[in-house]
Amino acid sequence: MIFIVLLLGFLALGIGLMIGYGILGKGQDPWAILSPAKWQELISKFTGN
């Protein structure tokens, strides 16, 4: 039961990230937010590195 809740939580997080970035954000490829390169870019933007 806990596994199903965790799985649904991660699924909802991924869908939310894709909607927020792809549809509400820049309108680019929604799958791009799931790539490690995009996360590295976002982290460096906020940390100033």
SS (H, E, C) 1-49: CHHHHHHHHHHHHHHHHHHHHHHHHCCCCHHHHHCHHHHHHHHHHHHCC
How far is residue 3's CA from residue 9's CA, in Å, rounded to a whole number? 10
Q: Apex CA 48: angle with CA 43 and CA 19, to 5°? A: 35
pTM of the predicted structure, to 2 decimals: 0.67
pLDDT for 12 equals 97
Quick: pLDDT tens for 1-49. Answer: 999 999 999 999 999 988 888 888 876 788 888 889 988 988 998 998 7
